[in-house]
Chain A
Amino acid sequence: MQSAAASYVSLDALKSNRNALAEPVEAPAHAGCGTSGGEGKASCGTSDGPDDMPADVWNKVKNHPCYSEEAHHHYARMHVAVAPACNIQCNYCNRKYDCSNESRPGVVSQKLTPEQAVKKVVAVASEIPQMTVLGIAGPGDSLASPKKTFETFRMLQEQAPDIKLCLSTNGLALPALVDEICKYNIDHVTITINMVDPEVGAKIYPWIFWDHRRVTGVEAATILHQQQMLGLEMLTARGVLTKINSVLIPGINDEHLIEVNREVKKRGAFLHNIMPLISEAEHGTVFGLTGQRGPTAQELKAVQDACMGGANLMRHCRQCRADAVGLLGEDRSEEFTLDKIEEMEVVYDLDRRRSYQDRVEAERQAQHAAKVEALAATQDAGAADGIKVLVAVATTGGGRVNQHFGHADEFQIFEVSAGEALFVGHRRVDLFCQGGYGEDEKLPSIVTAINDCHAVLVSKIGACPRDELKTAGIEPVDNYVDEFIEKAALSWFADYTGRVARGETVHQARGDASIRQGAFTAAA
């Protein structure tokens, strides 16, 4: 674990350099700052949590749509834009728009005061009982405006005590504010870490504002790096869950992210989310203007795969807007603009929210049990020697193949091999359809988006797209309607490998696919 020590700053160096900021911390250990419970309960068999996760950690994350792939389909999160200021400059960010660490460039949030933000959250939570997480992720850096951020959290904790709080930061101001964070009982923190080598960092961050001056170049990246690592260690030492976001920038930090993964895991990061750089000239970012491109689907997956086994990788992040409302991937913020909230009559009914959440929990358990059962029945179906393919799935939710090809805004991508179907990500397709609504018009772009898949599982598909997909070498599959996705994928895979074995089909590698560019805002 101590290998590759050349390019990053060691723990000890960090502590001695910046000890004015905070007392030294112990290396990653679950000390807890009062928020974590259930210590020592090592049993993992009781719920549908991952086997390798301690029970107290699972309790913290099971309803958090960002952390838990399961919760992601049943619970909602919301961000409020109370923190417009930032203390660093990233080359992938144009501050006319929201912080691109968490949200996408090109979308401007409605700026809110803490009072307005709390009112909005309470209004939304009363309307949407599955809203369980409130995050502050900008539009700048949540810790560059600490007063606004913590004022929001404080008021919210009073008015809606069941809502979980989280924040995202670039980490520069984190060490100085860790104790403040613990005070407000915030147990999820996201840090965007794109490098552990200041030389790399200098290509990503032109400057930071630090100690009353503007610092540039490697010096700036060094300070930022030290603050990030120290902040992460301090959070870990206090038992606060941490998620690391990294933006994959081809040619700048692609391979380097494997080292980032190792370093953040070593310091106790719970999740590592590697997301693609989204870079278009019209966003006006430095990278957009210099023509720095984002990664292709294959490049992204290659780095994600290389990091498997490091900190848990999160593959379902859709980089939604900082003020998005609703279930992940579905943007309901239009229903909750300031004027509309002013008119709403808000009654915060904690009991109603609890009973709703209990119902959802029961349903989720049932769905999970059914999935496990279905999988057990399918395990021995296929015997393919080392073949591994990607399939795209059209689903409206519930973990089943149940959407018409032409209605899909996005596909879930599963990696299938003998005995395993693993969710690896989402692929959005609606943005490719700029003008008309016909299936035919958006078809070529859908093919581009899922071009690395061998098959697409749908509930139904028209004759034309069926032919076009076949021509492109993607098998349209509509005979597993309403099946659980994993089961359907494995059944198709068994059938496919059977055909390959009998010589009816020739197994070929697929090409690369392109990642969608632009903001995820549902058509109103």
Chain B
Amino acid sequence: MSLKIIADLCTGCSACEPECPNEAISEKKNLFIIDPDKCTECEGDYDTPQCVAVCPVDHCILPLAA
């Protein structure tokens, strides 16, 4: 159960990084990636995935399976 960041859409703005309750998001060369082992889709912490709520680009963060 994890989300992923679509690299082509990510602007590298970093807004998502500090919002993650599990420190699952990190920066790699101006792009941000989600560690699937750490991401819980925010379940248990918040109603909605924090990274999705703060990300300025629509459809930039999607379920890993999709």
Residues in A lying within 8 Å of B, measured CB to CB: 84-87, 89, 95-96, 111, 140, 144-145, 147, 209, 212-214
Contacts and interface: CB of A to CB of B under 8 A. Distances in A.
A86 B53 CA distance: 12
B14 to A, nearest CB: 5
Given A84-B13, A95-B56, 5 more contacts: A85-B18, A86-B13, A95-B13, A213-B47, A214-B53
Given A84-B13, A95-B13, A96-B11, A89 B47 contact: no
A250 B12 CA distance: 32
Given A86-B56, A95-B56, A212-B50, A111 B12 contact: yes
B31 to A, nearest CB: 12
A212 B46 contact: yes
B53 A212 contact: yes
Given A84-B12, A85-B14, A145-B14, A209 B57 contact: no
A81 to B, nearest CB: 11
A145 B50 CA distance: 16
B22 interface: no
Nearest to A146: B18
A409 B48 CA distance: 50
Nearest to A83: B14
Given A213-B47, A214-B48, A87 B54 contact: yes
B15 A144 contact: yes
B53 A209 contact: yes
Contacts of A96: 11
Contacts of A214: 48, 53-54
B13 A213 contact: no
A95 B56 CA distance: 7
Contacts, number: 46
A84 B53 contact: no
Contact of B11 (A89, A95, A145): A95
Interface in B19-66: 19, 30, 46-48, 50, 53-54, 56-57
B57 to A, nearest CB: 7
A95 B15 CA distance: 11
Contacts of B13: 84-86, 95, 140
Nearest to A84: B13
Nearest to B56: A95
B25 to A, nearest CB: 12
A443 B37 CA distance: 63
Nearest to A147: B18
A214 B13 CA distance: 17
A95 B57 contact: yes
13 contacts: A84-B15, A85-B17, A86-B13, A86-B15, A89-B56, A144-B15, A145-B18, A209-B15, A212-B50, A213-B46, A213-B53, A214-B48, A214-B53
A147 B17 CA distance: 12
A322 B17 CA distance: 23
Contacts of A147: 18
Contacts of A144: 15
Contacts of A145: 14, 18
A408 to B, nearest CB: 37
Nearest to A85: B15
A140 B50 CA distance: 18
A343 B26 CA distance: 29
Contacts of B30: 111
B23 to A, nearest CB: 14
Contacts of B46: 212-213
B27 to A, nearest CB: 10
A209 B54 contact: yes
A216 to B, nearest CB: 11
A213 B46 CA distance: 9
A60 B60 CA distance: 44
A175 B38 CA distance: 33
Nearest to B48: A213
Nearest to A88: B56
A213 B11 CA distance: 21
A84 B56 CA distance: 11
Cβ-closest 9 pairs across A and B:
A85-B15, A214-B53, A95-B56, A209-B54, A84-B13, A85-B14, A212-B46, A85-B13, A84-B14
Nearest to A97: B11
Contacts of A86: 13, 15, 56
A209 B48 CA distance: 12
A84 B31 CA distance: 12
Contacts of A89: 56
Nearest to A145: B14
A304 B38 CA distance: 53
A81 B58 CA distance: 24
Contacts of B19: 209, 212
